[in-house]
Structure 1
Amino acid sequence: MGEGGENGRAKKTVFVTVGTTCFDALVKAVDSGEVKEVLFRKGYTDLLIQMGRGSYFPSKISGDDGSLSVDHFTFSPSIADYMKSASLIISHAGSGSIFESLRVGKPLIVVVNEDLMDNHQSELAEEFELAEELAERKHLFCARPQTLHQTIETMDLESLLPYPPGDAMPVVKLINEFLGFPSE
């Protein structure tokens, strides 16, 4: 499936979001030849990167020659529409982005920003724990920038369990638990 690279392939967009942060390591990872090649082999046609405050600008590729089309932007008032039209979302470990991706029912790879790990900000550690917990529950995949291409290569989208639509309470409860708020 998706072999050959004919222009007639159905549009399958990968949407990458770093939120309002700077996460150049993720942007560089998705802009690497390795990641773009494996996405193309998996049948994806478009890569759209929301790069936030980052200083690394990914390449823009039209895709007219049948290759993967790549585009980027810094911010948007709402990324909900990008998420809804995506076939795959690759996100930083922000709980807002994770929750929105689960809510729209899209396959999600959460990429942990290890550069922030040394900050000892408990909030960041909790977001990483949340992502790993949701990965264990098979709602998403977890990766690091340097392992992203392997995660994409080996991911089995069929193995993901959908989050019950409209039932935000389990996620809210989990987020509150990690943030130390009392549970109802």
Structure 2
Amino acid sequence: MGGIEDIVTLKRTVFVTVGTTCFDALVKAVDTLEVKQELSRRGYTHLIIQMGRGTCVPTKQSLGEDGSLAVDYFTFSSSIADHLKSASLVISHAGSGSIFETLRLSKPLIVVVNEDLMDNHQSELAEELAERNHLYCARPQDLDKVIAGMDLESLLPYHPGDAKPVAKLINRFLGFPDE
């Protein structure tokens, strides 16, 4: 025993979450052939999309005749914690809860900013954390390029004790004086 036939193909899941919002642009982006091909090229085997209140229904069709990227979706779950824990990569909307929950689990993260939101403070948080190399930040239209260029080894772990600079940024954005 111990031959090639004993090697089990690893399940590498990409979990996409839009939270409780409607973010059809993100669902449409991950449902494109370009994004699916890039994920498959990088060795991911499963794509699970939590589509929230959106009306865009992704295709469940696997990519390639060999089923190299199996696709599934759902609207809501009582808890996405299990999906986050089992994910090899998370692609998320820019909600702070989703961002910090993923970072606390030390999961590689791409945050996709919803450009349709007015007064989008979420993009500032995502961009600041991307500048600190804790995650990647993308727009729906450039998600495939971010996936193609990402180097997950270069991401720095997020330590919850590191929240002071982020809180300072949020306070400054809200107009509170620096202390």
Q: Fold match, TM over 0.5? A: yes
TM score, norm. by length of structure 1: 0.84
Pairwise CA distance, 1:65: 3.0
Q: In structure 2, what is the Cα distance between the partners aligned to 1:174 and 1:46?
A: 36
CA contact (8 A) 2:89 2:108 kept: yes
Supply the distance in 1 between the matched residues of 2:124 and 2:20 (Cα, whole angstroms).
20
2:4 matched residue in structure 1: none
Residue equivalent to 1:37: 37
SS at match of 1:90: strand
Equivalent residue for 1:100? 101
Aligned to 2:89: 88
Sequence identity, in percent?
Answer: 70
CA distance in 2 between counterparts of 1:89 and 1:97 reads: 10
What is the aligned partner in structure 2 of residue 157 from structure 1? 152
Assess, with a 3 A threshold, how the Cα gap between structure 1 residues 67 and 132 changes in structure 2: closer, same or farther: same
Equivalent in the alignment of 2:73: 72
In the TM superposition, what is the alpha-carbon distance from 1:176 to its structure 2 partner?
5.0
Separation in 2, partners of 1:145, 1:91: 11
Matched, 1:145 2:140: yes
Long gaps (5+) in structure 1: 1-6
- Give unmatched runs, 5+ long, in structure 2: 1-6
- Pick the structure with greater CA Rg: 2
**SS of residue paired to 2:161:** coil
Distance 1:62 1:36, change over 3 A: closer
Deviation for aligned residue 1:169: 3.8
TM-score scaled by length of structure 2: 0.86
Please provide the CA RMSD for this pair. 2.2
